[in-house]
Structure 1
Amino acid sequence: MRLSRKKQPPEISAYIGAGLKLEGELVFSGRIRFEGELSGRIRGESIVVGDTGVLKGEIQAEEVVCFGKLEGIIRVRHLDLRSSGFVRGEIFTERLTVEEGARIEGTIKVEEGQIPVSGGVPEAP
């Protein structure tokens, strides 16, 4: 008998700590965790927004797991909004997971194959 294992999330390759505020554009590959704040544009593979994390602006990624706050235009293949998460803005996604207690203000458009994410690895600007 073969036991199936749940796919493990990728390791965190970068960490933005609480108290750190960034403004501008961030392009990355791998998985990044935000406990601080970013205002601007963020584009990459996988984003974890921690309880104290705040992302404002244009967000484009393969996957976003949100325990904190997202505001703006969010284009993501899979948005996983946890019970402490809050999203305000326009959400474009192929797959949406929302835990009880999470809050959403804005519009949600769910369309298969319509989210423009370039293979998960963004091109350098």
Structure 2
Amino acid sequence: MIDEPPAAEAVDSVLGALADPTRRQLLDLLAAQGEATATTLAEQLPVSRQAVVKHLAVLDAAGLVSGARVGREVRYSVRPAALDTTARWMASLAADWDRRLAHIKRVAEAADRDESPTPPD
């Protein structure tokens, strides 16, 4: 197996974490609220607190959220760096496709000009 660079591993981890709609919802809630506990988040979702904690662990492992203990609570907040890395990868991928499509368009237009019938004399 080929070793992937750390950035590629980070993108894979983020995309895997974001594949679940509940985790995307948790990320949205945390982004809107700034920080929240698993209990507060569970009150806003149709899943148990234990399920929220498991989802937050996946988001944490992907670098998307972090938890800080305050007394007996753990307060979670969004960590944007992993999202930024993923967004840059997606923008680079989109730019590559734009270049490829522009090249295909130029080739097709050139072929079309070469095949155009010449007007009769």
TM-score calculated relative to the size of structure 2: 0.23
More strand by share: 1
TM-score calculated relative to the size of structure 1: 0.23
Give the number of the structure whose alpha-carbon radius of gyration is greater. 2
